[in-house]
Amino acid sequence: MSDAKIVVRRLGVFFGQAQSLRWVTMDVPRNRILGIIGPSGSGKTTFLRTLNRLNDLSPDTHIEGEVLLDGQDIHHPNFDVVALRKRIGMVFALPVPLPMSIFDNVVYGARLAGVKRDKWDELVERSLRAAFLWDEVKDRLHTSGMRLSGGQQQRLCLARTLAMEPEVVLLDEPCSGLDPISTAKIEEALTILKAKYTIVLVTNNTKQAARVADDTAFFLMGEMVEHGPTSQIFTVPRDKRTNDYVTGRFG
Amino acid sequence: MKFNREKTVERLLLTVAFSAIASLLLIALFIFKEGVPFILKVGPRDFLLSSDWSPQAGKFGIYPMIIASLWITLGAMLIGAPLGVAGAIFLNEFVPRSVMRIVKPTIELLAGIPSVVFGFIGVVVLAPLIRTHLGGPGLSVLAGAIVLGIMVLPTVISISTDAIGAVPNTYREGALALGATRWQAVHMVVLKAARSGIVASIILAMGRAVGETMAVIMVAGNALKIPHSPLDSVRTLTANIAMEMGQATGMHRQALFATGVVLFIVIMILNSIATAAVRRRIGGKGNKK
Amino acid sequence: MRIPPKYTQMIAVAVLAGATLATLAVLLFIIGYVLNKGLPVVSFQFLFSNPEDMGRAGGIFPTLVGSVLLPLLAIAIAMPLGVGTAVYLTEYTRETRATKVIRFGTDCLAGIPSIIFGLFGFIFFVVMLQFGWSLLSGGLTLAIMILPTIIRTSEEAIRAVPHSYREVSFSLGATRWETVMKVVLPNALPGIVTGVMLGIGRCISETAAVIFTAGLALRLPRSVFDSTRTMAVHFYTLAREGISNENAYGTAAVLIIAVLLTNLAAYWLMHRFIARRTK
């Protein structure tokens, strides 16, 4: 489907000599939530980090195949990596508030991108509302982000990413350390956000994928085994391995 | 556009990063440039082994000063090494962590005392003591060795403490589990494991002692003769350079630079040995087990 | 006769404790002695009036100024070079042969005794570049001397910044330099400043390298090309030429207090840095 936001064709990712991702081919559909499930070490995070070229930071990596964003090859030598990361935002597994105030956290990326100072207040409010955090912090925007609870910190990270006004939001097991209420808040936010953004959500929790994702991809040992609409993956998967995983036979 | 700025910054930082090695090369270049031709002209044998230092008459033998530096350095290590290692062992093994965390920085703090102050105390307190109780002029090899020994103590303690602290607790626990006392665990197991680090600290301290100038000028007497007893007054290589540099010209000045060359080489050798000893420990630890 | 291990341990501990206490005692004695004899001499006037009669009378003001300006100049030169080197080594490269060379140079530089720096500074800055005996010659020489310290402490401080901060910054579209300036350096600052304070402490105590580069002038310097005398040099001159034992003690007291204060500040900063990291 060439209407997909991101198109991945025969992607192989190598760390030195070792191949972490084996020839993945799939589409990331626009304005939907794509859930990526699979046991630890399957290459889910590697896949995610390839999409915003964060793997470039690790030494000795190289890729084969192509990743197209709106039809453009993101690994092309002329492609501006910095601009790419403004269009594709990322929320990490462990909440990492930068050691500055909540306000400064949210505007960090936008400020570097050149957004003017007079737009910041509005941007901060909008982003915090979208992350379902505004009401809890609106009175203490200039206190340190590190004082928030785990769930609040993660929503802050989401707000920070949204403030960049990206087109795609990548989330790497964002709820792994969070309590059920915070998890629910983030899932609710994602469901609303997909109207504006394309969302890719890596999760260790198959039930979360079942709840939230429109489409799901199953990764196993560096290979993308199958992908399709969530309902199909969880009820009538084509591959036996997928079936075994989603029914809990292994994990 | 941002990309160009990044490239420029990276290139700039690369240049800056070579400032340390560039300075080192400059220093070596100029010291050697002034000193080596002189050594070649006068002949290394005459320079290093002659006892006649009379700049006015054109004689530049530094043998007495080599001996002086040797004696004082060895004397300093005889005092500083045992005391330092003992202190390091005590602080690491027989004292609660909280005490160590206060005492170690205190010792390092006290090490910040300027060398001229050490020298001065040597002159007004130590030298008279030596003169009264042991004889001689007071300003002597002994005084120099004691003052230098005290000055290098913090170096020995600091690095030895790190070396001893780096020995994994499993070594100690293993020994204790076999029924050893704390002291037995220390001298049979821990010290052997920390040996190269401790040796490195002593060698590094030696390098510092050889290079020390101000304190020895004040306290060692500066007589131009080969010492025959610890109570004799002596002049070290460093003292000679510092004392005569002000009025030296022509060949005299070159002779002093030549002395600097000798010092430079000796200290570089000492430091290389020390660094190699440390590296052997890290390498050895990795290969063992 | 074999002494039971219990007793050898007691003897050993006693010996070790004795050695440690002896070390502490000697160091404390030195400080105490100097402060005892020197503090009575130190007064507002002593600090802020000019020396008279080559230092036999009067105060030490110009040397105080020298001891402030010289380290400041040295830091102004060494800090950008040192922090820049540290940033390059940690943020812009992996361990390559080039980085090994850089580290080797730094380690060697750290081991060179101050008299050699004095010789070098003299022949290079004073004579060849014709700066003469001056603040400039002294500052440049001292800068090279403290460069290894700045590089080491800065590198440690920069490496202590969690990698996740950098990842977050990059994922928000920052360039490497922006990440360094906006996230890494601000966080490494306390560690870097610790190194700076240690470097300043070293500059204040330094004598051999300073005499041959900054000279002995007892007047207030009016430009970087003027010669200046630091307190350490002044103290040495007073003591060695036997000019005035009394003023020597006074100068030494101020000198020691200055060095102790800068080193204490360095340690306090280091503790705050570590405390903040582990919060």
Stretch among B49-63, C19-33, C182-196, C227-241 having the lowest mean pLDDT? B49-63
User: Is B196 part of any domain?
Assistant: yes
- The shortest CB-CB distance from B90 to any of C16, C31, C151 is to C16
Evaluate if pTM is beyond 0.90: no
Residue C77 — pLDDT band, cuts 50, 70, 90? very high
Residue A16 — pLDDT band, cuts 50, 70, 90? confident
Structure-model confidence comparison of residues C79 and C222, the more confident one: C79
Strands A61-69 and A6-15: antiparallel
C-beta of residue C173 within 8 angstroms of C-beta of residue A86 = yes
User: Is B3 part of any domain?
Assistant: no
- Measured CA to CA in angstroms, residue A244 lies from A212, A218, A240, C66, C100 at distances of 21, 11, 6, 78, 51
- Residue A165 DSSP class: -
pLDDT of amino acid C277: 56
CATH for the stretch C44-277:
1.10.3720.10
Amino acid identity of residue B121, one-letter, is I
**Across residues C229-236, what is the average pLDDT?**
91
Strands A88-91 and A61-69: unpaired
pLDDT at A3 over 90: no
pLDDT of amino acid A250: 79
Contact yes or no for C109 and B23 at CB 8 A: yes
pLDDT at C39 over 70: yes
State pLDDT tens for residues B36-51: 998 888 888 888 888 8
Contact yes or no for B121 and C24 at CB 8 A: no
Contact yes or no for B86 and C248 at CB 8 A: no
* Spatial separation of the C-alpha atoms in residues A174 and A100, rounded to whole Å: 21
| Ordered structural domains, chain A, with CATH | 31-54+81-246 (3.40.50.300)
Q: Look at the block and give the residue holding tokens 């010996």.
A: C15
pLDDT of amino acid B287: 39
C-beta of residue B235 within 8 angstroms of C-beta of residue B134 = no
Contact yes or no for C119 and B241 at CB 8 A: yes
**Across residues A103-115, what is the average pLDDT?**
89
Residues of B near A (CB-CB distance < 8 A)? Answer: 2-3
**Across residues C195-214, what is the average pLDDT?**
92
Region at C174 (left for phi over 0; alpha for psi -120 to 50; beta for the rest): beta
pLDDT at A1 over 50: no
pLDDT of amino acid A113: 86
Å between B227 CA and nearest CA of chain C? 23
Helices (H), B95-136: 97-110, 115-121, 127-134
Average pLDDT, chain A: 90
* Spatial separation of the C-alpha atoms in residues A14 and B28, rounded to whole Å: 45
Q: Which chains have at least 3 CB atom pairs separated by less than 8 Å from chain B?
A: A, C
Structure token pair of residue C79? 């800090």
A98 CB neighbours in chain C (<8 A) are 165, 168-169, 183
Give the torsion sign (CA, A128, A129, A130, A132).
Answer: positive
pLDDT of amino acid C275: 67
CATH code at position B122: 1.10.3720.10
State pLDDT tens for residues A70-88: 888 999 888 888 889 989 9
Return the residue in C171, C177, C178, C185 with the most chain A beta carbons within 10 A, the one to mutate for interface testing. C171
Residue B286 φ/ψ, nearest 5 degrees: -70, -35
Contact yes or no for C33 and B125 at CB 8 A: yes
The residues pairing with C57 across neighbouring beta strands, listed in sequence order, are C52
Stretch among B5-9, B227-231, B282-286 having the lowest mean pLDDT? B282-286
Helices (H), chain B: 2-17, 19-42, 44-49, 63-93, 97-110, 115-121, 127-134, 141-165, 169-177, 182-185, 191-211, 214-219, 237-245, 250-287
C-beta of residue C228 within 8 angstroms of C-beta of residue C65 = yes
User: Is B1 part of any domain?
Assistant: no
Return the residue in B1, B2, B6, B7 with the most chain A beta carbons within 10 A, the one to mutate for interface testing. B2
By the 10 Å C-beta count (0-12 exposed, 13-18 middle, 19+ buried), C181 is classed as: middle
pLDDT of amino acid B282: 52
Stretch among A88-92, A181-185, B106-110 having the lowest mean pLDDT? B106-110
Contact yes or no for C102 and B18 at CB 8 A: yes
B2 CB neighbours in chain A (<8 A) are 82
pLDDT at B231 over 60: yes
Q: Look at the block and give the residue holding tokens 């003690």.
A: C249
A158 CB neighbours in chain C (<8 A) are none
pLDDT at C57 over 80: no
Residues belonging to chain B: 289
Contact yes or no for C172 and A99 at CB 8 A: no
pLDDT at B288 over 50: no
- Report how many domains make up chain B: 1
Q: Show the domain range for B279.
A: 8-287
Other C-beta atoms lying within 10 Å of the C-beta of residue B169: 8
The residues pairing with C32 across neighbouring beta strands, listed in sequence order, are none
Return the residue in B4, B113, B241, B275 with the most chain C beta carbons within 10 A, the one to mutate for interface testing. B113
Query: Any idea what the Cα angle at residue A133 is, between residues A130 and A137, rounded to 5°?
Result: 135
Residue B82 — pLDDT band, cuts 50, 70, 90? very high
Binding-face residues of C in 232-251 toward A, CB within 8 A: none
- Residue A9 DSSP class: E
Q: What share of chain C is helix, strand, coil (3-state, %, to 5)?
A: 80, 0, 20
